[in-house]
């Protein structure tokens, strides 16, 4: 598919708008002070000078402008579809979009440079992998939280979750506790392998998973993340002792789609825009601390 084909549904949403949900209306209202300090953010999220109501239409004209520029770059390139896609990408990472983001970031005291954008490329690298019964499962490396899924599956492999009944209390409790155990290790050990030594072989071993599984209790839940495991497979005797207070907070969204031919698309839009100033004219959030979101 061309870039234009892929981006057109998003372009229609940004230009025509979409109805604001209860969650989004509440989030904009809660961020009113931060939004009010950025003219571009105000124009994007509070065009009438007030937080919008549920059902109001939200349009993102700045993002639509970027999509149009990239479509035009693709259309103007000669030499086939790949050259067109690369032309759209070049406009973002080396052309006017990057220039606007870098300029705005530096005006706010940030550190991004044009070289930071131009030198960025997604690498092709071997995946992490583990087996779950008859399946071989693959994820990205520990520079993201991908391998935590493999840890969860390793932990659950030794539990008869099918016998619990799908979405039963026992099923959900066991799955959630397994995720907590894996995420505790994620927080303790994961990082960019270019800078951090990650004990991936130990973390993905079946013996390690079996010891972590011992920390799932059918009548108790860890109110927060449990202790991280010892990758030497040595554990202290620790059990959960308190109950959660019932509060919760929003966190990362995730979307994954795999088509009939095995093409996979994975997206994790985890950084919000409401508390970060938008770049004028292009309506994109960028952190002045030096990381583009």
Residues 18 and 118 in one domain: yes
Choice among 36-40, 49-53, 68-72, 161-165 with the minimum mean pLDDT: 36-40
Q: How large is the average pLDDT for residues 24-29?
A: 92
Among 213, 237, 267, the domain-final residue is: 213
Query: pLDDT above 90 covers what percent of the chain?
Result: 64
* 267: in domain: no
- Nearest-10 crossing angle of helices 61-76, 81-93: 140
pLDDT tens sequence across 64-75: 999 999 999 999
Number of domains making up the chain: 2
pLDDT tens sequence across 113-152: 999 999 998 888 899 999 999 999 999 999 988 999 999 9
Residues 9 and 117 in one domain: yes
Among 185, 213, 241, the domain-final residue is: 213
pLDDT tens sequence across 147-164: 999 999 999 999 999 999
Residues 82 and 190 in one domain: no
* 144: in domain: yes
* 175: in domain: yes
Residues 47 and 99 in one domain: yes
Residues 163 and 78 in one domain: no
* 43: in domain: yes
Residues 110 and 49 in one domain: yes
* 266: in domain: no
* Among the listed residues 51, 64, 48, the one whose alpha carbon sits nearest the alpha carbon of residue 16: 64
Q: What is the pLDDT of residue 232?
A: 67
Enter the pTM of the model. 0.71
Q: What is the CATH number for 200?
A: 1.10.246.130
Residues 145 and 169 in one domain: yes
Cα–Cα dist 277/284, whole Å: 8
Q: Which residues constitute the domain of residue 161?
A: 128-213
Cα–Cα dist 257/265, whole Å: 5
pLDDT tens sequence across 215-257: 999 999 998 889 888 876 444 445 555 555 656 566 677 888 9
For residue 33, give every residue at least 6 positions away whose Cβ sits within 8 Å of its Cβ, in sequence order, or none: none
* 39: in domain: yes
Cα–Cα dist 46/27, whole Å: 12
């Amino acid at each position: 598919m061309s870039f234009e084909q892929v981006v057109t549904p998003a372009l229609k949403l940004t230009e025509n708008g979409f109805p604001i949900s209860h969650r989004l209306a509440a989030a904009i209202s809660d961020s009113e002070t931060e939004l009010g300090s950025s003219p571009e953010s105000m124009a994007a999220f509070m065009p009438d000078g007030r937080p919008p109501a549920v059902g109001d239409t939200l349009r993102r004209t700045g993002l639509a402008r970027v999509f149009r520029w990239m479509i035009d770059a693709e259309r103007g390139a000669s030499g086939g579809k790949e050259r067109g896609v690369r032309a759209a990408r070049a406009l973002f990472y080396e052309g006017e979009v990057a220039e606007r983001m870098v300029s705005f970031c530096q005006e706010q005291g940030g550190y991004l440079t044009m070289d930071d954008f131009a030198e960025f490329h997604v690498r092709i690298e071997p995946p992490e992998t583990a087996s779950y019964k008859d399946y071989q499962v693959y994820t990205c490396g520990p520079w993201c939280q991908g391998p935590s899924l493999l840890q969860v599956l390793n932990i659950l492999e030794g539990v008869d979750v099918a016998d619990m009944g799908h979405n039963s209390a026992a099923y959900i409790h066991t799955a959630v506790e397994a995720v907590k155990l894996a995420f505790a290790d994620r927080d303790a050990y994961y990082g960019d392998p270019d800078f951090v030594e990650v004990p991936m072989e130990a973390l993905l071993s079946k013996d390690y998973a079996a010891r972590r599984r011992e920390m799932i209790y059918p009548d108790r839940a860890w109110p927060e993340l449990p202790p991280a495991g010892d990758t030497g497979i040595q554990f202290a005797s620790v059990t959960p002792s308190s109950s959660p207070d019932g509060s919760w907070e929003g966190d990362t969204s995730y979307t994954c789609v795999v088509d009939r031919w095995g093409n996979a698309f994975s997206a994790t839009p985890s950084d919000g825009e409401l508390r970060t100033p938008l770049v004028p004219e292009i309506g994109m959030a960028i952190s002045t601390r030096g990381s583009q979101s």
